[in-house]
Amino acid sequence: MRHFRHLTPERLGALFHRPPAEFTADAPVGTLAVALGATLYSPATREELADDVRKQAARGVVSMVLCLEDSIADADVVRAEENLVRQLGALAEAGGGEELPLLFVRVRAAEQITGLVRRLGPAVRLLSGFVLPKFTEDHSVAFLEALTEAEVSCGRRLFAMPVLESPQLLHRETRPEALAGIARTLEKYRERILALRLGVTDFCSAYGLRRTPDMTAYDVQIVASVIGDVVNVLGRADGTGFTVTGPVWEYFRPQERMFKPQLRQSPFRSGRAEEIRTALIEHDMDGLLREIALDRANGLLGKTCIHPSHVAPVHALSVVSHEEFCDATDVLRPERGGGGVLRSAYTNKMNEVKPHRAWAERTLLRGEVFGVAREGVSFVELLAAGVK
């Protein structure tokens, strides 16, 4: 697999100072966690699920979740399981060396993990793991033990992606203990945890809220406070933390706008750029772009997506800019091991070696997976390249 793999070598060379590197499902957990990018969710009831997976892979999707939980009705669970087993079996039988995304199944109950692995048989080789709902210390152990059992039975590494969405985590009086319990559980099963996902829709639901397309998750203060505390406890850069992914963006159809568009015109004044800007505004994508930027600023990486049109913006804004690459490279030079301060190569900021080291390491890992843009190449060109 490789991000932007649909581009020709000539186009890659024109856009990237360092192109995205290839990786496989067997890559180290740190690489895979960063490589998830835009994780596209799809209900497991879809009759053309196998074709959907192939189609999205061709469009640049690198990770997908086939959902047996909130995206389907309670009455459809049995049918969804049967369809999932049948569709993954068809994908496995087709073979042919085609590149498929990293595939995960979002389950409702722990017993679904072992049951599905057993029913999938050889097709389990297509699975990278399971998404675990409403993750708390009390609720999660059964899921993780089932994952361990399933891994042993199929002889394949299977990851967990817990979803943090429980009321105990949201409510201020129970949040500290809930976070402490989640941290204890995650540490016990650290080798099986790929990334943590945030159930912001569930957080809003607890208070009867829903953000509009003009507002990001960070504009809803109750939600923003939870994100901050989750990153504080579970996303630290001292070796104890995990990758925390960005919350879902719910909108993909044009709606009446209440506020002025948030996208500035200046980055779009060339080539197809103004056309792209207009399309983004019409489809409420300017709010998505702002939220992706705020995700990054708040320590989140990648994003839960429920529509294919969200994938290209997430990936375009995951590419490391040439300026970021220069700063990170300067900070990590061996001769700078003793610390100190230096002026950036772009002469517009201070790079302080010790405080910026963790940021620089994360930035270069992201650059390895998503690539480093050429000098002067903006996210607009990368976005245009990613839209198929």
Q: Which two tokens stand for residue 364?
A: 């270069």
Q: Which two tokens stand for residue 314?
A: 């997430």
Residue 145 vs residues 111, 127, 150, 156, 295: alpha-carbon distances, Å: 10, 18, 9, 15, 31
In angstroms, how far is CA 67 from the centroid of its own chain? 16
How far is residue 162's CA from residue 175's CA, in Å, rounded to a whole number?
17
Q: Indicate the SS3 state at residue 69.
A: coil
What are residue 61's DSSP bridge partners?
A: none
Which runs of E-coded beta strand occur in the chain?
16-18, 38-43, 63-67, 102-106, 127-132, 159-164, 197-198, 246-249, 303-305, 341-343, 350-352, 372-373
Instruction: Kindly tell me the sign of the dihedral angle through the C-alpha atoms of 141, 147, 153, 155.
Output: negative
Q: Which two tokens stand for residue 146?
A: 């089932």
- Pairing between β-strand 341-343 and β-strand 159-164 as defined by DSSP bridges: unpaired
Please choose, from the candidates 212, 388, 200, the residue with its C-alpha nearest in 3D space to the C-alpha of residue 311. Answer: 388
Contact of 195 with 36, CB cutoff 8 Å: yes
Please choose, from the candidates 170, 186, 166, 292, the residue with its C-alpha nearest in 3D space to the C-alpha of residue 235. Answer: 186
Buried b (16+ CB within 10 A) or exposed e, 296-310: eebbbbbbbbbbbeb
Residues with Cβ within 8 Å of 164's Cβ and at least 6 positions away in sequence, in order, are 135, 182, 196, 197, 198, 199, 230
Q: Indicate the SS3 state at residue 129.
A: strand
The answer to whether 51 is a known ligand-binding residue is no
Contact of 57 with 388, CB cutoff 8 Å: no
How far is residue 286's CA from residue 282's CA, in Å, rounded to a whole number?
9
* Positions at the binding site for Mg(2+): 202
* Positions at the binding site: 202
